Amino acid sequence: MIKEGSYLFVEGQGPVEPFRGKYAVKSANVFERIRAGWAQAGLAPESAYLPMRIELELTTKCDDSCPSCGMGALPLAEGRTLTDGQIRFLLQQFASIGLPSMAITGGEPFTAWRALLRMIEGAREHHIDISKLTTNGSWGTLGRCARVFERLEKAGFLDGRLFVPLLMMSIGEQTTPLESVARILHHAVTHYSERELNVAVSSLADPATREHKVDDLISAYERAYGPFPHERVHSTMRVYLNNQRLGGQAPVHRPGHTSVARWMDHCFDCFAPTIGAYVLPTSLLKNNGDWYTCAAFNVPEKLAFGNLLRERATDVIARAAASPYVQRVRAGGGLKALHDVVSQEFTRNTTCTSFCDSCALLIDQFDKQTATTTGHRTPMVIPPAALLARTNGAAPGSQP
Ligand code: SF4
Ligand code: SF4
């Protein structure tokens, strides 16, 4: 399988090789093309935060119930799917910020089939690529698999201008029979070239034994179709992080604790335009419209900067870009930029279990040291004064 992280292209750090990596692009001048889209949308090129992708929770419904679900998924009868009106509105929001690509997640997006097709068709109309579509593969049955591919293709899933789309299958705690996942893989690699569609498998390692379910998948594939197409399938071999927990779920214990200082020294430049192994910066858009600067599983709550169902996307992006924390991380090439703000006593003596957990701790320290407040929660109800200002044509928040 193609190892995660094999190809990494960061803007300004060497040439881009097209058709390489899990998030492959179609041309070497992709960053220039994306910047042209941002400029057309009126975003300042020096802005500290310009999203390359928005990861969107199309639905919170799921047809599975993984004990360690990090997606906040709910049973089919309880989850919520974006309405047609919300999908139309969000696509306009995305276009208004020159968004190059989006990733569709859930819940399980294929349980919201009609909304999924609306989103893909709408994205094509607005010239926004679908760079990733995540699924548990429950639709990979003999009766559905080929028909689903046909319909996805017709909706425009493969029509991206900049990115080769990626179909990402999660086989961690999911109960989908591996024969169904193998069928989807087989269909993908025998009907589409690597220039048309990439496929990846996100496999859960048992934290105790470190054994991966992907080995069972390879066996299931080889029993049905012959040699596994290692050269076409990208891997995402991760143990689940300390995810957002649902009521009744057991906590996840990740072995080993690491100092914040160490996480800082090894972290990525999260806000530098990046493709190949990752797409960065990637924002997260929750199903209720709440927008975060990062699509990490355990993104700190303080990196929420607004709500795209209640505010203009341009205002929310501008708010994130104006955040002293975001500006500091961007200017200094990642969390290491905070070494001269947060004391060594804290960063060396405090431990946590992931980059983003260390980020949450650093934000608290940063806010204290600089007397700033990172993040913004959009009120559910628009205050009457702001409503009046809007009716009178003034910008929300401006003085009458
Ligand atoms: S399939 Fe995915 S979204 Fe559904 S419960 Fe499992 S991890 Fe959560
Ligand atoms: S470390 Fe912080 S800035 Fe980087 S991806 Fe995680 S939450 Fe985002």
Domains of the chain in start order, with CATH, are 8-321 (3.20.20.70)
Structure tokens at 295: 């699509």
Note the pLDDT tens digit of each residue in 57-94. Answer: 999 999 999 887 878 899 999 999 999 999 999 999 99
Most confident of 206-220, 248-262, 270-284: 270-284
With contact defined as beta carbons under 8 Å apart, do 43 and 98 qualify?
yes
Task: Give tens-digit pLDDT for 202-237.
Answer: 886 665 666 678 889 999 999 999 999 999 999 876
What is the share, in percent, of the chain residues with pLDDT greater than 70? 88
Amino acid at 37: G
Instruction: State how far the Cα of 142 lies from the Cα of 148, in Å rounded to an integer.
Output: 11
82 lines ligand 2 (CB under 6 A): no
Exposure class string for 373-387: b at 16+ Cβ within 10 A, else e: ebbbebeeeeeeeee
Residue 148 makes CB contacts below 8 A (sequence gap 6+) with 110, 139
Query: Is residue 121 within 6 Å of ligand 1 at its C-beta?
Result: no
Is 249 near ligand 1, meaning CB less than 6 Å away? no
Report if pTM > 0.75.
yes
Query: Lowest mean pLDDT: which of 20-34, 163-177, 386-400?
Result: 386-400
Question: From the CB of 267, is ligand 2 less than 6 Å away?
Answer: yes
Report the Cα–Cα distance between both ends of the chain, in Å, rounded: 60
For ligand 1, the distance from its centroid to the CA atom of residue 263, given in whole angstroms, is 28
Given this model, what pLDDT does residue 242 score?
40
What are 124's two structure tokens? 């094509």
In the block, residue with structure tokens 């200002």? 389
Residue 278: nearest ligand to its CA?
Answer: 2
User: Is 297 within 8 Å of 241 (Cβ atoms)?
Assistant: yes
Pocket-testing residue among 294, 301, 374, ligand 2, by greatest number of atoms within 8 A of Cβ: 294
Q: Are strands 274-276 and 166-170 parallel, antiparallel or unpaired?
A: unpaired
Q: Are strands 8-10 and 274-276 parallel, antiparallel or unpaired?
A: antiparallel
Q: Which helix (H) or strand (E) holds 368?
A: helix 355-370
Beta strands in 247-323 (DSSP E): 258-259, 274-276, 282-285, 290-292, 304-307
Whether 122 and 327 have beta carbons less than 8 Å apart is answered as no
